[in-house]
Amino acid sequence: MLKLRPNCECCDRDLPPDARDAMICTFECTFCADCAANAFDGTCPNCGGDLVRRPVRPAALLAKYPPSTERVLRDGDCLARRDAA
Q: For the domain made up of 1-57, give the CATH fold.
A: Herpes Virus-1 (3.30.40)
> 70, 4 in Cβ contact below 8 A?
no
Q: Give this prediction's pTM.
A: 0.90
Q: Does residue 75 register a pLDDT over 90?
A: no
C-alpha pair distances (Å), 62 with each of 28, 67, 74: 18, 7, 27
Q: What is the pLDDT of residues 18-50, one digit of tens each?
A: 999 999 999 999 999 999 999 999 999 999 999
| E strands, the chain, in order | 22-24, 30-32, 52-53
Q: What is the CA radius of gyration of the chain?
A: 12
Residue spans of the domains in the chain: they are: 1-57
